[in-house]
Amino acid sequence: EQLQGVFLDERLLNLHNQPLGEGSFGRVLKGELNLPGNDKIPIAIKTSKDFRTTPDLEKFLSEGLVMRHFKHPNIMNLLGVCMRDDASPLVVLPLMDKGDLLSVLAESEFKLDELLYFAYQVACGMEYLAALQFVHRDLAARNCMVNSQRNVKVADFGFLIEIPPEKEVVTERGMGRVPIKWMSVESIVSGTFSMKSDVWSFGVVLWEIITAGAPPYGRLSNKDTMVQVKNGYRLPKPQHCPSELYDIMRSCWLKDASGRTDFESLVKRLELMLNKFT
C-alpha cells in the first residue's frame, strides 16, 4: 500500500555497472532514469542483496519510503522504487556525483566561505527535518552527499525516527551500531534522542567541515570518548577557526539539551557569517 505512487517501471532505468559505493544492504550503482520526452536524469540506484528475512527487506524499503515525502533541496529525496523480476527491490535516488561530504573535504582545499556554505546547507536540511518532527540520529559528514554544483543533501535515514507531537524526546536502547563520537551526552548516558541531540551532532559536523574531515576526538576510543564527554570535555577549537564559529559549535554542545541552540537559530547565524565572509 505504501509503495503506491512510487513504483518505477524497470524499463525506465538504465543501470551502469559502475559502483558508487557500498550501502548497508548492497551496492550503490550509477544510472539514468529515462523520462518521457527523452529526458535523462542521472541517478544513484541502491541495490539489495538477497534478503534472508522479511524484516531486512522491510528495513531496506522503509528507509527509501520515508524519503518520498521529503521536498527540500538539502534533503535526499526518493525518485522511486523498482521491483525487479527476481523480486529484489531497487531504490532510485538523485545522483550526487561528488560522493559524501567527508570524502569531498579530504580531497580538495576550500576557502572559509565555501566551508560555511556546506555547513549552512546541512543546517537548512536539518531545520526542515526538525520541523517535520524527525530526528536523524546519524548526522555526520559521511552521511551528507554532494554534487558537482557543491549542493549538499543530508542522507542515510536508517536511524531516522519520528517524534510524536505530544513528546519532546524518545528513549531507545539497542540501536545496534551507534555513532558514539557524534552523539549527545544525553543519548550516551540515557539513550534519549530529540531534535536537540541532532543539534549536538550538527556541532560535530561543523567541526568536521572546518577541520577538512579530521576524525572527532582523534584516536580516543569510543569508550574513552563517552567518559570524557560525560565529564564535560568538548572538541577543541580548530586551528584557523573564527571564534564566532567555534561559539556556534559550543552552543550545540551544552550539557542541558533544553538550553542548546536549535536549527532555526543555526541557519540564521550561519547565514550571517556567510554574508560576512563572502
Cite the active site residues: 138
Angstrom distance (rounded) from CA 140 to CA 8: 30
Distances in Å between the Cα of 242 and the Cα atoms of 87, 252, 262, 273 are 53, 16, 20, 10
3-state secondary structure of 104: helix
Q: Does residue 214 come out as left (phi exceeding 0), alpha (psi in the -120 to 50 range) or beta?
A: beta
DSSP-assigned letter for residue 180:
G
Cell of 105: 573535504
Cell of 131: 520541523
Listed in sequence order, the residues at least 6 apart from 240 whose beta carbon sits closer than 8 Å to its beta carbon are 210
- Strand 39-46 and strand 27-35: the pairing is antiparallel
Neighbours of 91 (CB within 10 A): 26
Does residue 46 have a known ligand-binding role? Answer: yes
Closest CA to 160 of 184, 135, 179, 124: 135
Does residue 50 have a known ligand-binding role? Answer: no
CA 256 to chain centre: 24
Does residue 77 have a known ligand-binding role? Answer: no
Does residue 142 have a known ligand-binding role? Answer: yes
Cell of 27: 551496492
Residue whose entry in the numeric block shows the C-alpha cell 542483496: 49
Closest CA to 31 of 104, 90, 86, 83: 90
Closest CA to 209 of 166, 155, 157, 245: 245
Where is the binding site, in residues? 46, 142-143, 156
Residues marked as binding for ATP? 46, 142
Query: Which residues are annotated binding-site positions for Mg(2+)?
Result: 143, 156
